[in-house]
A and B are shown apart, each in its own frame.
Chain A
Amino acid sequence: MSAPGPRSLVVVSAGLSQPSTTRLLADRLSAAVDRHLRDAGVEPKVDVIELREHAQDLTNNLLTGFPSPRLQATVDTVLGADGLIAVSPIFSASFSGLFKMFFDVVDRDGLAGKPSLIAATGGTPRHSLAIEHALRPLFAYLNAAVVATGVYAAAEDWGGGGVTADGSLVERIDRAAGELAAAIVAREPQARADRFETPVPFEQALRSNSATD
């Protein structure tokens, strides 16, 4: 089952170096999702966000309580997207601080129901479960619809493990991308409700206020 119309995909990469392994993984995932969407007859629009470029604005937002216009535009891109790919390096057994700072300033309800793919990079395969014990709970809290396959790429995945073998990085990217594309296609294109354009009418809000909750 698929709903018609174009879809937007946003890729959030928290890599720090340039070029970064995190961005490399993000690009592979993005290309694979793009391919799956086109196979399903859907025209994707892809935006890539490098959090490094917003590091200063994120700190300022946390301290001052408001986003810079540029950061606000970036957050709006994420909120308005039909699908999300979020990729972080694993530092000290979890996602990076920069990665968390970004999702700390996104509206709490902004990712609810959004088809999302979580991925991470690390030096060794011993941290691969950080996907499950760090990233997945974060996105569960945000009520994102995270696909079953998370992709962790250790340094050795870029050389060993083969390309076509079951469980290789290429195969895992393809499997996760297929799951995300299917979830995006199954959902109506998202027109984000603007609380400024269409406020909840006061009497309706007051009624739900006095209803038992």
Chain B
Amino acid sequence: MQFGVFTVGDVTPDPTTGRAVSEAERIQIMVTVALKAEEVGLDVFATGEHHNPPFVPSSPTTMLGYIAARTERLMLSTATTLITTNDPVKIAEDYAMLQHLAGGRVDLMMGRGNMGPVYPWFGQDIRNGIALAYENYALLRRLWREDVVDWEGKFRTPLTGFTSTPRPLDGVPPFVWHGSIRSPEIAEQAAYYGDGFFHNNIFWPKEHVQRMVELYRRRFEHYGHGPADRAIVGLGGHVFMRQNSQDAIREFRPYFDHAPVYGGSMSLEDYMTQTPMTIGSPQEVIDRTMSFREIVGDYQRQLFLADHAGLPLVTVLEQMDMLGELVVPVLRREFAALRPANVPDGPPLHPAVIAARAVSDVNEPAAEEAPVEAVAG
């Protein structure tokens, strides 16, 4: 099972001091968090993609390429890549290039974005959100899997005799997750292709997360990718720790009360009851995270929100130390002990696929057997 951190890259003033970092500082903080993730033994760093203030990460492959050069084993991912407003041809090229530079340590998570004007800024219409996600991803898959593509769709200029370069590293396209908080259509899409499904459950009640993941698993099996319990599931998580729970709550409360997402709504205590947010001791974080398994089954990736809401870098790094020393080693052990032997312990990423090739002649994992031709736009 993989553990990591994800970031939205928000510039939010620290509510306890009123100080906001500059864009330059914020970008360096994101890099520092990524390097720290590798240092403390986490597996994944994932960056958001945004095209409006107060967010800085508009160019994920630029940042991930830089991080790739400064890390050895960290998986580089996104949370999320805007499959709706980015040109799928550019996504195919950018992430294949990143794959080569990072030695295959790349996967990505498709999302639709949640800021209305981004669609018109990129020449699209938000009412086509799902349609764009479907059509653009169908093209992206073909660009990574077919050397020469003829294609015609609704949203982009047609392609005749197009080859996306560079070709994916070793002929293995980056693994793809589809992230959605509330749209069953996206769980259905992930299931159809046998791709991963990521639920950023940090804002949502567990009953809803459960329904989305259950739908994905059931449809994954329906489409012939294997038993439902072998589908590839990822979850978000939202934690803040101190050795003493009360200290954690006292320190985090001003950040909660002023956070752009939930500030001004319910109390921190009510929010923790209704969502998977956990503010407390490392043991409480371990217990809560283990309880996710009872909601969605054995899953393959757990990402924690690290730097956000104006938390100072020093605090973020302390949190990551605690994750690396006190929380993740225990979670690795306990999840592994409970996971049945037939359930994958991680997503089929490039390094794993190459390793599997070395021991057998299997060229494509089961997840790659979706009828690609049938979805030609």
A residues at B contact (CB < 8 Å): 56, 59-60, 63-66, 68-69, 72, 195-196, 199-203, 205-206, 209-210
Q: Is the CB of A63 within 8 A of B264?
A: yes
Binary CB contact string for chain B from 151 to 190 against chain A (1 if under 8 A, 0 otherwise): 0011000000000000000000000000000001101110
Question: Which A residue sits closest to B223, measured CB to CB?
Answer: A202
Q: Is the CB of B262 within 8 A of A63?
A: yes
Which residues from 185 to 211 on chain B have a C-beta closer than 8 Å to any C-beta of chain A?
Answer: 185, 187-189, 191-192, 203-205, 207-208, 211
Q: Is the CB of A64 within 8 A of B138?
A: no
Q: Is the CB of A210 within 8 A of B135?
A: yes
Q: Report A-chain residues with C-beta under 8 Å of the C-beta of B275.
A: 66
Task: Given contacts A203-B192, A210-B135, list 11 more A-B pairs with CB under 8 A.
Answer: A63-B264, A64-B266, A66-B204, A200-B185, A202-B192, A205-B185, A205-B188, A206-B138, A209-B131, A210-B154, A210-B377
A199 CA to B218 CA in the complex, in Å? 11
B residues at A contact (CB < 8 Å): 130-131, 134-135, 138, 153-154, 184-185, 187-189, 191-192, 203-205, 207-208, 211-212, 214-215, 219, 223, 261-262, 264-266, 271, 274-275, 374-375, 377
A64 CA to B211 CA in the complex, in Å? 19
| Interface residue from A63, A195, A209 paired with B135 (Cβ < 8 Å) | A209
Which among A65, A195, A199 has the highest number of chain B CB atoms within 10 Å?
Answer: A199
Q: Report A-chain residues with C-beta under 8 Å of the C-beta of B134.
A: 205-206, 209
Question: Which A residue sits closest to B211, measured CB to CB?
Answer: A196
Q: Report A-chain residues with C-beta under 8 Å of the C-beta of B262.
A: 63-64
4 tightest A-B contacts by CB?
A63-B265, A202-B192, A199-B188, A60-B265
Q: Is the CB of A203 within 8 A of B374?
A: yes
Q: Report B-chain residues with C-beta under 8 Å of the C-beta of A60.
A: 265-266
A200 CA to B186 CA in the complex, in Å? 11
A172 CA to B203 CA in the complex, in Å? 46
A202 CA to B183 CA in the complex, in Å? 13
Q: Report A-chain residues with C-beta under 8 Å of the C-beta of B130.
A: 205
A52 CA to B184 CA in the complex, in Å? 31
A66 CA to B375 CA in the complex, in Å? 33
A199 CA to B188 CA in the complex, in Å? 7
Which among A60, A68, A203 has the highest number of chain B CB atoms within 10 Å?
Answer: A60
Question: Which B residue sits closest to A212, measured CB to CB?
Answer: B154
Q: Report B-chain residues with C-beta under 8 Å of the C-beta of A68.
A: 205, 274
Q: Report A-chain residues with C-beta under 8 Å of the C-beta of B131.
A: 209
Which among A56, A60, A202 has the highest number of chain B CB atoms within 10 Å?
Answer: A202
Q: Report A-chain residues with C-beta under 8 Å of the C-beta of B375.
A: 203, 206
Question: Which A residue sits closest to B265, measured CB to CB?
Answer: A63
Q: Report B-chain residues with C-beta under 8 Å of the C-beta of A59.
A: 265
A119 CA to B131 CA in the complex, in Å? 39
- Nearest CB of A to B129, in Å: 12
Q: Is the CB of A66 within 8 A of B184?
A: no
Q: Report B-chain residues with C-beta under 8 Å of the C-beta of A199.
A: 184-185, 187-188, 215, 219
Q: Report B-chain residues with C-beta under 8 Å of the C-beta of A56.
A: 266
- Nearest CB of B to A28, in Å: 36
Q: Is the CB of B265 within 8 A of A64?
A: yes
Question: Which A residue sits closest to B261, measured CB to CB?
Answer: A64
A6 CA to B131 CA in the complex, in Å? 38
